[in-house]
Structure formats: structure tokens, C-alpha cells
Structure 1
Amino acid sequence: MTQKRIARAVNRRSFLAGAAAVLGTPAIAQQSQMPGSVEMESDIDEGVRRNISSFRSLDWRPYFSDLSRGAILVDITSRALHYWSEDESVYRLYPSSVPLSEELTRRGRTSVTFKDPSPDWRPTPSMKERNPEWPDYVPPGPDNPMGTRALHLSWTYYRIHGTHDTRKIGRRSSNGCIGLYNEHIEELYDMAEIGTQVLLI
């Protein structure tokens, strides 16, 4: 084996081992004490297996009639967000967090209505009812549950946003929003427009 092939094999093994370690973290260790966090799924092994098997690139045509202003597809089952630019020159696939339960999950068509470059956070009335100890407001910053960027959707209270708690990504862990790693929401924020069509399935 050449040195280049050995390095490639070692890098691949390191990546797979690291991913397995992150994905295999027990759910109890992933609960955050930060505002906006909720108890995460307990069936993590089954969920991770399903997520890995479903995390694949998709074509936009079965989901959208065109790519006017770009398109975002959120697949709740595979816990993945897909983005296509209007001219089809850009396609991105990001792992995401999804709502903790079906009761908190909304599916259907919406669009980006506002791009927030420095999001703050307020619990919704139902969140505050379930968690009265949570603060009424968290300003923008490193501890904000909305992360570094947020895309507001036409549905009240629903966002695609970053997260300060990276353990949530790839899991059922949100109160209804779709979460991305901060570096991914920053990239998506720069590409998405007001009016970008969004479909949650």
C-alpha cells in the first residue's frame, strides 16, 4: 500500500470512528440544561441507524415544480435538510435536528419570510407552559438556543436555525424548529432568499 492510500484509509477509519462515537452517545448525556432544550429521543440506536441509511442526496423534481428563489426540503424521517439554488448550480445536504414528537411536528409547504442575522430567543406560550422555569428571553450570543442565524418561516414560531448544542443534530430534540450546525446555518443563510420555498415532509 502506498503512503497516500494508507493515509486515505486511516483518515476514513478516523472519520467513521469519530462519527460512530458522536452518534452513539447515550441520550441521557445529550440533554442540555440550556433554555430551549427538551428531553431527547430514547431510541437513539434505532434512530441513528435510520438516519444513516436515509441520509442521501435527492433530486428536487419530485418535490417542487420549479426552483424559483431556490428550494429547501426538510426530510423529518432522515433528519436531513436539502437546499437547491435557483440555477441548480448549488446543492447542499445538511444533517439536522427535528421535532421531538409528532405533536410538535409540522409538515407541508411554507417559505422563508425573514432572515435574522443575530437571533434572540423567547419561548412560545406552550413551551413556557411545559417549562415554567425557562427564562422569558435570551439575547443573541453564544448561549442562545437559536444559534448564530435563523430563517423565519411563514408559520408562526417555526424557524430553521443554528444551535449552540451540537449534540442535538441528527436527533429528535426540538420543540418544532429545524436545527443545523452553526456553520451550516450560516452557509444556508447566505444562499437562501426571502421567498425561498420550503417543504417539510
Structure 2
Amino acid sequence: MTDSRTPGFGRRAFLASGAAFIGAPALAQNVNDTSTTEVENEITEVVRRNTSSFRSMRWEPHFDNLKNGAILVDLTSRALHYWAEDGVTYKLYPSSVPLTEDLTRRGRTKVVRKVEGPSWRPTPAMRKRNPEWPEYVGPGPDNPLGTHALYLSWTYYRIHGTHDTRKIGRRSSNGCVGLYNEHIAELFEMAKVGTQVLLI
């Protein structure tokens, strides 16, 4: 839904004209073995051009345990890895990552809040760079956070969906990590408040 206080702002501000992907490719996978698996042959040609080194990974080099589950965001390969606390469920999702190094944050954080149908307010830095942006966008197709958001302990940082599927697999965000809406919905169900998050 478009905020009535922001005339002229709508889908065009975040979604360029032209056809979006008909459907997001199903790249999430369950991996129950410990081998490194190349999944490139499962990626559509469009996503393959925007993704590098898209491989499954093990959690042990990055986390001491899987208490509350663990999320690893590999900014180089533009992939998000999720391991459930049971040590069996593993998911691998293509993601968008920050546009530039100065927008990028690395290190350890955690999920502190989960919101279905999030609203969005640009940060003060975003408003400075883009004064024409609205102060608020409610849930709906104009919202750049997509259908679900996992809020991190770092102020302004989230793992969220996007209605603009062209962003996935690219450097395209203002700092957050974006997923296809169908993938963030799946991750949203599995991740908990307290899930460990590491960005490398």
C-alpha cells in the first residue's frame, strides 16, 4: 500500500519498470551430509550471472555451537547459510548484500525481533542521500523489506525479503541482507529470537 502522505512515491521508487522474475528459483536445500556440494547447476542462468562461489558450508569453523540455530552471511558469495539447532536442517539461500564497503558491517550479532509484514523507515543516512524518499512506508508491495524481516541487534540492520527480485545475488542494499520473499518466509519460520548471526 502506498502512504497517502507521500504522493508520487510508490512501486516505481523501488521497483524499476519491466518484468520481474516469474518466480524465485528454489535454491534452498536440505543438506544432511558434511561434504561440500556445488549447487551451481541448480541456479537459473539469470542468477548464475550474479552469484559467485555458491557452495554449501559447514557451521563448525564459524560457530562454537548451534544453540538457537545459526545464520552465516557470506558477503563474497552473496549467500546466506542457516543451520538449525538440531544439527540436521541446513538451508542455503542466495542473497543481496550492501552496495559498497562503507555500507557493509561484518561480525557477530543475533536476531532480536521477528516481524511479518514489516513497515519501513529510511535511516537518517539514507534520507540524507535520498531526501526525496518518504519518511515511512507501511506493509505491502511498495515496502522494500518485503514480506518478513529478522531484526538484528545492530541498529538498522535486518535480514529481510524484497519485492524486487533483481536485487538478489547482487550488491544492491543499503546495508541489510535481502532474500527472495519465499525464502525469508521459510527462514522466518525456522529462525528464533536469539539465533546467532555472523556476517563475513
TM-score in same-fold range (> 0.5): yes
Check the 8 A contact 2:47/2:169 in 1, yes or no: no
Shift in alpha-carbon separation, 1:178–1:136, aligned structure 2, 3 A: same
Instruction: Report whether the alignment pairs 1:145 with 2:144.
Output: yes
Residues 88-107 of structure 1 aligned to structure 2 (within 5 Å):
88-107=87-106
Task: Give 1:29's aligned residue.
Answer: none
Residues 81-120 of structure 1 aligned to structure 2 (within 5 Å):
81-120=80-119
Give, in angstroms, the shift of residue 118 of structure 1: 1.3
Task: Give 2:59's aligned residue.
Answer: 60
TM-score of the pair, normalised by structure 2 = 0.77
AA at the equivalent of 1:108: G
Q: Which has the larger radius of gyration?
A: 1
Give, in angstroms, the shift of residue 142 of structure 1: 1.4
**Over the residues paired in the alignment, what is the CA RMSD in angstroms?**
1.7
Please identify which structure carries the higher helix content.
1
Structure 1, unpaired ranges of 5+: 1-14, 25-47
Structure 2, unpaired ranges of 5+: 1-39
AA at the equivalent of 1:20: E
Residues 122-141 of structure 1 aligned to structure 2 (within 5 Å):
122-141=121-140
1:120-158 superposed Cα distances (whole Å, 9 cap, x missing partner): 110000000000000111000111100000000000000
Q: For 1:62 and 1:163, how far apart are their aligned partners in 2?
A: 30
Q: For 1:56 and 1:86, how far apart are their aligned partners in 2?
A: 21
What is the DSSP-based 3-state SS (H/G/I as helix, E as strand, rest coil) of the residue aligned with 1:186? helix
Residues 1-201 of structure 1 aligned to structure 2 (within 5 Å):
19-21=44-46, 24=49, 48=50, 51-52=51-52, 54-201=53-200
Give, in angstroms, the shift of residue 22 of structure 1: 5.2
Task: Count residues in correspondence.
Answer: 161
TM-score of the pair, normalised by structure 1 = 0.77
